[in-house]
Every structure is written in structure tokens, then in C-alpha cells.
Amino acid sequence: MAYAQLPISLPKRFCAPASIWYGTTASGAQIVSGLVLIFVAALILLVRYGTRGGNGPPAASILTLPHRQVAFVVVTLCGISAVLWANCLASFNCVSESEILLSRGLFQAALIQHWDDVTEVSSECERARSGALYSRLILTLSDGTSVSLPFRYGLETADYSAAKAALAGKHCKYRLSTSVTPELCRAPTYQFLSGWKVD
């Protein structure tokens, strides 16, 4: 489980101390694929080199590939998994009051944008299956990229103030989602979002 949480928990360590928001942009499909490949490799090893059951034939008889072929298949699966996971770890964003860093994986150069590049700000609230309420701002940049800024629990006022200060004087639209309701937004987040206009 900790392995699966790495792409989500590590971006904080990659971002500069001045970053207020950070998060992974890795797709769930990549994360799951990396886990599945490791599981398949482990299963192949277990079946091929399993322990004997009583006096019967070894479990290896189920899969009789030569050792070199087994090694090749396992190393290939683990290698692909490693590339997928390295790409996931390199897919994140860091947002401070001065800039927006977008790291887009191993095969694309990181991009630094600024709050002047924001063309639209939208707000959303939702209720998780656990019943917890979440609120966030979504920045749309001039190149079409979207960046999510979650309101952190207990720090809603600080997050709101930071976003307002960064957007002051910027020319962008503000879109209020229909999900911004007292039932789906934490207080005081609802007051911030429902009454907020970009200066």
C-alpha cells in the first residue's frame, strides 16, 4: 500500500519550500499498471520456483520455462514497471504565490508558468465516500493545462488569501460550479467561493 502511495506523497519533497500547493498529475492507469506488472512478475516467480507439495511433483511443473526465459520475462516486467513509476513520480505540480511549476514526466521538459498565464479560475466542492468534504480551485492556463489547488483542512483562510493575492490584478474569468453549496463545501470555504470575484 505504501508503494502505491508514493506518487501521491512524494511531490511535496520535490517542491520548493515556498510552494503552497503541490500534487501528482500521474494518471491512475499508470499507477495501477505499475502495480499489476510487479504482481505478475512475482506470480511467475512463485509458480516457477514454488516449493514442493508433499511427495508430488514440484510446483515448477506448472510453468516449465527455462531459467533464462523466466529471468528475461521477470526483468522485462519489472523494468517496464520501473519506467512507469519513475514517470509517475516525475509527474507533479508545485504552486507558489510567484510561479506554477509543471513537471510533466520523464519524457517532457518541466514547464514554469506564472499567475499571469491563468485565464480562468473555477471552484468545486465534493463529498467523498467517507463523508469528508473537499473544496478546490482549478486554474486553467493559457495553454489549456489545468492545475488543481485544494483547500487544505484547517488552512482554508490562508489558502484563500494566498490565491487572492496571487490573482490580484490578473485578467481571468471566475466560474462558480453548481457543486459550491453549503452541503458540499466546508465552512468557511463556502463563503469564500460563493462570494469571490477575481479582482
Cα separation, 127 vs 184, whole angstroms: 6
Quick one: pLDDT band at residue 75, thresholds 50, 70, 90?
Answer: very high
Domain(s) labelled CATH 2.40.50 in the chain stretch across 114-194
For strands 100-104 and 173-176, give the pairing.
unpaired
Contact 149, 138 (CB under 8 A): yes
Output the furthest CA–CA distance in the chain (Å, rounded): 80
Question: For domain 114-194, is the CATH number 1.10.760?
Answer: no
Look at residue 60 and tell me whether its pLDDT is greater than 50. no
The string of pLDDT tens digits covering residues 97-135 is 889 998 888 888 888 899 999 999 999 999 888 888 889
- What pLDDT does residue 199 have? 53
Query: For residue 50, what is the DSSP state?
Result: P
- Output 193 or 10, whichever has higher pLDDT: 193
Q: SS3 of 4, please?
A: helix
Cα separation, 128 vs 27, whole angstroms: 19
The string of pLDDT tens digits covering residues 143-196 is 888 898 888 888 888 888 898 888 888 888 888 888 888 889 888 888 888 877
Quick one: pLDDT band at residue 76, thresholds 50, 70, 90?
Answer: very high
The string of pLDDT tens digits covering residues 27-51 is 778 888 888 998 998 888 888 776 5
- What pLDDT does residue 8 have? 56
Quick one: pLDDT band at residue 198, thresholds 50, 70, 90?
Answer: low
**Which cell is 137 given?**
480551485
